[in-house]
Amino acid sequence: SQQGEEDPQALSIQEGENATMNCSYKTSINNLQWYRQNSGRGLVHLILIRSNEREKHSGRLRVTLDTSKKSSSLLITASRAADTASYFCATDDAGNQFYFGTGTSLTVIP
Amino acid sequence: GAVVSQHPSWVICKSGTSVKIECRSLDFQATTMFWYRQFPKQSLMLMATSNEGSKATYEQGVEKDKFLINHASLTLSTLTVTSAHPEDSSFYICSARDLRLQETQYFGPGTRLLVL
Taking only the tens place, the pLDDT of each residue in A56-75 is 999 999 999 999 999 999 99
Residues 6+ positions from A44 with CB-CB distance below 8 Å:
A35, A36, A37, B107
CB A72 within 8 A of CB A32: yes
* pLDDT tens profile A2-61: 567 888 999 999 999 999 999 999 888 889 999 999 987 888 989 999 999 999 999 999
Closest CA to B81 of B94, B95, B66, B92: B66
B76 touching chain A per CB within 8 A: no
Which chain A residues are within 8 Å of B34, Cβ to Cβ?
Answer: 98
pLDDT in tens, B80-113: 999 999 999 999 999 998 766 667 788 999 999 9
Q: Which helix (H) or strand (E) holds A45?
A: strand A43-50
Chain B residues lying within 8 Å of A33, measured CB to CB: 103-105
What count of other Cβ atoms lies within 10 Å of the Cβ of residue A95? Answer: 10
